[in-house]
């Protein structure tokens, strides 16, 4: 049987006082097949592929590369010096690309 964890909890004394008819009516009410869904709210949360996002604004703080970082010459990602695998002829290659 499903349990409604959001329902207020009751003491064992209160549980013993419920009549059979009251318990049956609660069970029927809890199993209602009607779902309250606003289709407009659901539709707004979906992003369609290829949607025009030209009017959207993105704010990102960009930090300059630090002295203990390097840019991999294969994947062009910035990594910490501890990820350096190979350095040949001035090319720095990370462990993932090596």
The DSSP call for residue 43 is: H
| pLDDT (0 to 100) of residue 70 | 95
pLDDT of residue 16: 57
Residue with tokens 């069970």: 27
Indicate whether this model's pTM tops 0.75. Answer: no
Is residue 78 within 8 A of residue 63, CB to CB? The reply is no
Listed by start position, the domains of the chain span: 63-98
| Region 21-47 average pLDDT | 67
Q: In this predicted structure, what is the pLDDT of residue 21?
A: 75
Neighbours of 90 (CB within 10 A): 6
Name, in order, each residue with C-beta under 8 angstroms of 35's C-beta and a sequence gap of 6 or more.
none
Residue 17: what pLDDT? 60
Q: What tens digit of pLDDT does each residue of 37-66 get?
A: 667 666 677 777 777 777 888 888 989 999
What are the pLDDT digits (tens) for 58-90? 888 989 999 999 999 999 999 999 999 999 899
- Full 3-state SS string of 62-74: CCCCCCCEEECCC
């Amino acid at each position: 049987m499903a349990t409604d964890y959001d329902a207020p909890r009751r003491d064992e004394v209160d549980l013993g006082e419920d009549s059979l008819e009251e318990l049956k009516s609660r069970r029927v009410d809890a199993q209602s097949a009607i779902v309250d869904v606003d289709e407009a709210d659901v539709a707004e949360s979906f992003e369609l592929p290829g949607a025009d996002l030209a009017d959207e604004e993105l704010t990102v703080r960009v930090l300059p590369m630090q002295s203990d970082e390097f840019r991999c010459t294969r994947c062009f990602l910035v990594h910490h010096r501890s990820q350096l695998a190979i350095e040949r002829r001035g090319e720095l290659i990370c462990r993932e690309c090596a």
